[in-house]
Structure formats: C-alpha cells, structure tokens
Structure 1
Amino acid sequence: MADIVDSKKRSEIMSAIKQKNTKPELLVRRYFHAKGLRYRLHRKDLPGKPDLVFPKFKLVVFVHGCFWHRHEGCSKSYVPASNYDFWNNKFNENIARDNKCISKLKQLGWEVVVIWECQINEKMLEFYVEKIMNTNKCTSSKV
C-alpha cells in the first residue's frame, strides 16, 4: 500500500517526532530524581547518547519506546500496514543501531539498563531504582 501523503509531508511529520525528553523518559527521570538518584542526560560522547548516565558507577539507562525500538512481544510494537517495506527496514535499522550502541558501551565497561515504555509503572521503576542503587559498583546508598 502506498503512503497517503507525499514524501515532503512525510518528512515533515517524521521530523516532528521527539527524540529526547519524551513523556516516558520524563516519567523515569522524575521518579529516579524523587528517589535520590542523580544523573547526567544524553551524553554525546557515549554511543547512542544514553537517556540517563550515572558516570560515577559507569551505568547508563535507555528509555525505549516500544514502537520505535521494537519491544518484542509488546502490542505497541506493531508494523503499520501502509508502506510495509519502508517500516520494516526502518525498524531493522533501529534494532541494529541499538544493539551496536549497547555492545560498544559494554566494551567500554558501562553497565546498560533498558527500560521499555510499557514497563513504566511504579513497581517496575522501583525495581530499576533498586538495581541501580545495588549495582556492584556502588559504594553508598545514593547514586
């Protein structure tokens, strides 16, 4: 099925999609901050520009949208019916880029945590807070 808008309009629509400071990311940031976790945002010198960076403990957090980053088994990671080949290619490129960035970060000695958009609820966020606070690199109860 062909796209219902021309390529110029599609480009305009796609460029309006936020890459940083998304609603899921802001929810995670607020929750972590309220729990006493302190972090840096979107460090450009790290592969993939992680959403949250805990430099002292060499830990990074990515907050991934289920649709764009293809959360396996999630209902939000569907493929649009129109322009199927384009979307399939786009998603495969996103997955490959994510895997490459995570691999590079691990090679550099960083611990990587991925929080999926559909997992953002108080129970799961508390799990991640505990994981971050109890990372073997932590020497205190505050990160």
Structure 2
Amino acid sequence: MDKSSKDKRSKIMRAIKSKDTKSEVLLAKALWKRGHRYRKHNKSIFGTPDLSFKKYKIAIFVDSEFFHGKHWDIVEKRPKANAEFWQKKIERNMQRDDEVNVFLIQSGWTVLRFWSDDIRKNLYTTVRTIEKHIAEIHDRIYFE
C-alpha cells in the first residue's frame, strides 16, 4: 500500500524529470570538462538519446532504474500500488529501449546505456567507457 495520499503521490510523480536528470547532467559535465562535444536530446536521431556524438555515431542513454526496469525480474522490487498500470508502463519502456537499440545498431550506431545509479557511483568508469568507444571509432574512421 502506498504511504502517500493520492494527491501527494501525483505531485511526486509529476516532479520526476525526463530530461536533464542529475545523473545525466553529471555525466554531460564530466564529458564536457574532458573536452568532448556532444548534442543533448537530438531529435534527429531515432530514440532521442540523452547525449550523442553524431560524428562517431554514438548514442548514449541514461536510464532511471525505476522507469526502465532495472531488476524487473525480481518481483519484490515491483510497485505494489497500481501494479497493473506500472507493469504495462515499465514493460513497454523496456520493449521500446530494445526497439531503439536494434534500430540504431542496424543503422551503424554504437548504443551505450547506463543506469543512473552507476553513473553517480562510478562516474569515472562511465566516462572512460565512453572515451574508449570514441577512440575506437575515431581510429577506425581516420586510420583505416
């Protein structure tokens, strides 16, 4: 059972951002500081990645654990209130993520997805992973 009233829960859920979340801003600033130039929420790229490097065809998505179904296979972690609604919503989000991944990969893009918590806990590792992909693609483009 939800501990908050219906109005309070509605207010809380409305306040959740879909763009420029703390994790996304943290990652973007870290990449910018290291000299990487990217585009945010580029609508010309299928799936509208949170960050993208069009030159290298790299699409980066920062996924929240709740809305993108991290640990969705663990039933105890699923919402109890309005369970049917959340199950449909989150499972559709997961399906959409897969569709976006498949389309972009088939179009020659590298798709990188990171969980918000992983970015906050391991920012340096996340940035290095992205830099590794940039370097590999850069070398492939310019030295082959």
TM range (shorter): 0.7 to 0.9
TM-score, normalization by structure 2: 0.79
Deviations 1:1-47 (A, max 9, x none): 699527xx84x654432111010100000111111111011111222
Deviations 1:83-118 (A, max 9, x none): 111111111011011111111111221110111112
In structure 1, list runs of 5 or more residues that go unmatched.
Answer: none
CA drift at 1:134: 2.1
Count how many residue pairs are aligned between Structure 1 and Structure 2. 136
Could you tell me how far apart the structure 2 residues matched to 1:15 and 1:48 are? Answer: 22
Cross-structure match for 1:48: 47
SS of the residue corresponding to residue 20 of structure 2 reads: coil
Could you tell me how far apart the structure 2 residues matched to 1:62 and 1:125 are? Answer: 12
Quick check: which one's helix share is greater? Answer: 2
Percent identity of the aligned residues?
35
Could you tell me how far apart the structure 2 residues matched to 1:30 and 1:74 are? Answer: 33
SS of the residue corresponding to residue 67 of structure 2 reads: helix
1:5 lines up with 2:6 in the alignment:
yes
Cross-structure match for 1:133: 134
Could you tell me how far apart the structure 2 residues matched to 1:64 and 1:137 are? Answer: 26
In structure 2, list runs of 5 or more residues that go unmatched.
Answer: none
TM-score, normalization by structure 1: 0.80
**1:19-58 to 2 correspondence within 5 Å?**
19-58=18-57
- On the 8 A contact 1:60/1:111 being kept in 2, the answer is yes
SS of the residue corresponding to residue 56 of structure 1 reads: helix
- On the 8 A contact 2:56/2:134 being kept in 1, the answer is no
Could you tell me how far apart the structure 2 residues matched to 1:47 and 1:133 are? Answer: 20
CA drift at 1:125: 2.2
- On the 8 A contact 1:68/1:91 being kept in 2, the answer is yes
- Stretch of structure 1 that moved more, 85-94 or 130-139: 130-139
CA drift at 1:55: 0.7
Seen in structure 2, the aligned counterparts of structure 1 residues 134 and 72 have a Cα distance that, compared at 3 Å, is farther
